[in-house]
């Protein structure tokens, strides 16, 4: 992709988001820390355990109303097993359990990833289908696509003791009770390769949904991710 195309893409995204943030749009601001544990098995199998928690610190609308309060929202635990198919591709399947107030939610996950190693960056394409089972709601089916890139800030790869930028853009199509919704996520993160087996990332996870039929709901999560190979 040349520079002109990149500028065009950024302008399109900026235009898209500026349309969606109207005065009636609501927002929430909070934190989304996560721990990712990865374990390598024999015959090109890997397994990933993830714990992610969500807390809201402020809610409001873009017309000025806001309310500050610290509320714990939920915690997710997931386990995904992956098998390397080709040199750069992996097929995975897993299960997530979500604890939200007194409700327990179950999710089945299937994903396919392709990681491209270019001269000075890495690109990862991820296609996910998942099915979420609620206690008092119909099952939600989602189809997701995410493009993530790692840009080393020094040299051609993010080595130990070096920083990198990780930017991802994801589109989530949701189908539930014959209703459709689209969520868009944009996640810029600053990462640090602490050791051969540990990475830490800090940034913002921006999400917007409900904009197709209602006022947009915007979420800004402060992310702190810790990746560990065990």
Residues that bind other proteins (CB under 8 A): 36-40, 43-44, 46, 48-51, 75, 77, 80, 82, 84, 86-87, 90, 92, 97, 99, 102, 104, 111, 113, 115, 117, 122, 124, 126, 148-150, 154-162, 166, 191, 196, 199, 201, 225, 227-230
Asked whether 132 and 105 are in contact (CB, 8 A), the reply is yes
Closest approach of Cβ 210 to other proteins, in Å?
26
Nearer to other proteins, 15 or 117 (CB): 117
- DSSP annotation string for 133-178: E-SSSPPEEEEEEEEEEEEESSSSS--TT-EEEEEEEEEEEEEETT
Nearer to other proteins, 55 or 149 (CB): 149
Nearer to other proteins, 116 or 131 (CB): 116
Nearer to other proteins, 23 or 230 (CB): 230
Of residues 190, 191, 171, 189, the one with CA closest to residue 181: 171
Closest approach of Cβ 150 to other proteins, in Å?
6
Closest approach of Cβ 79 to other proteins, in Å?
9
Nearer to other proteins, 206 or 226 (CB): 226
Closest approach of Cβ 128 to other proteins, in Å?
10
Cα 137 from Cα 133, distance rounded (Å): 8
């Amino acid at each position: 992709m040349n520079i002109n195309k990149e500028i065009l893409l950024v302008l399109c995204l900026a235009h898209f988001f500026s349309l969606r943030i109207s005065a009636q749009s609501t927002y929430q601001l909070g934190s989304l820390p996560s721990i990712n544990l990865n374990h390598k098995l024999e015959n090109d199998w890997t397994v990933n355990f993830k714990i992610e928690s969500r807390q809201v610190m402020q809610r409001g609308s873009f017309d000025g109303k806001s309310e500050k309060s610290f509320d714990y929202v939920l915690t997710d635990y997931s386990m995904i097993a992956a098998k390397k198919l080709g040199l750069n591709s992996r097929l995975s399947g897993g299960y997530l359990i979500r604890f939200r107030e007194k409700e327990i939610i179950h999710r089945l996950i299937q994903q396919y990833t392709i990681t491209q190693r270019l001269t000075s960056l890495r690109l990862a394409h991820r296609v996910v289908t998942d099915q979420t089972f609620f206690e008092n709601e119909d099952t939600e089916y989602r189809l997701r696509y995410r493009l993530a890139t790692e840009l080393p800030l020094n040299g051609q790869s993010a080595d130990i003791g070096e920083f990198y930028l990780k930017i991802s853009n994801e589109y989530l199509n949701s189908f539930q009770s014959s209703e459709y919704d689209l969520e868009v996520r944009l996640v810029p993160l600053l990462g640090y390769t602490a050791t051969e087996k540990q990475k830490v990332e800090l940034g913002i996870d921006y999400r917007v949904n409900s904009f197709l039929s209602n006022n947009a709901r915007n979420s800004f999560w402060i992310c702190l991710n810790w990746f560990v190979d065990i």
